[in-house]
Amino acid sequence: MVRLAVRCWIGCIVALGLWGCNLPQPSAVLLNDFGENEIANATGFTLQRKNGIVRIAVKGDSTNSLATYYLVRDTAVAVPADGKKVLVPIKRMVTTSTTHYEPIILLNELPSLVGTCNPERTYNPIICSALAKKQIKGLGDSFTINREQLLELAPDAVLASRYAAADPLIDALEQAGFLILFNQEWQESTLLGRAEWLKFIAAFYDKLPMADSIYASIAANFHQLQSSVADLPEKPKVMSGCGFHGTWYVPGGRSYMADLYLSAGASYAYSSDTHTGSLPLNLETLLSDFSDADYWFGAQENTINEVLAVEPRVAAIKAVKNRLVYNYNRRSGKNGSTDFWEGAVSHPDWLLADVIAVLHPDMLPNHQFVYLQQVTH
Tens-place pLDDT, residues 134-185: 999 999 998 899 999 999 999 999 999 988 777 888 999 999 999 999 999 9
- Within 8 A by CB and 6+ apart from 202, the residues are 103, 107, 208, 210, 211
Smallest Cα–Cα separation from 196: which of 204, 188, 62?
Answer: 188
Q: How far apart are alpha carbons 245 and 373 in whole angstroms?
A: 24
3-state helix, strand, coil in the chain (%, to 5): 40, 20, 40
Sheet holding 65-72, edge to edge: 45-50, 53-59, 65-72, 84-87
Percent pLDDT > 70 in the chain is 91
Q: How far apart are alpha carbons 137 and 181 in whole angstroms?
A: 19
| Residue 3 in this model has a pLDDT that exceeds 50 | no
* Average pLDDT, integer, range 19-26: 38
- Indicate the DSSP class of residue 330: S
Burial of 225 (0-12, 13-18, 19+ CB in 10 A): buried
- Give the angle subtended at the CA of 37 by the CAs of 36 and 38, to the nearest 5°: 105
Backbone angles phi, psi at 123, to 5 degrees: -100, -45
Q: What is the pLDDT of residues 88-104, one digit of tens each?
A: 999 999 999 999 999 99
- Within 8 A by CB and 6+ apart from 158, the residues are 93, 94, 95, 96, 150, 173, 178, 179, 180, 181
CATH of domain 45-217: 3.40.50.1980
* Average pLDDT, integer, range 331-360: 96
Q: What is the CA radius of gyration of the chain?
A: 25
Confidence (pLDDT) at 32? 57
Q: What is the pTM of this model?
A: 0.90
Confidence (pLDDT) at 167? 85
pLDDT band at 63 (very low <50, low <70, confident <90, very high): low
Domain range 232-374, its CATH number among 2.40.50.140, 3.40.50.300, 3.40.50.1980, 3.40.50.2300: 3.40.50.1980
- Within 8 A by CB and 6+ apart from 354, the residues are 367, 369, 370, 371, 372
Q: Where in the chain is the domain with CATH 3.40.50.1980?
A: 45-217, 232-374
Q: What is the pLDDT of residues 267-319, one digit of tens each?
A: 999 999 999 999 999 999 999 999 999 999 999 999 999 999 999 999 999 99
Average pLDDT over all residues of the chain:
90
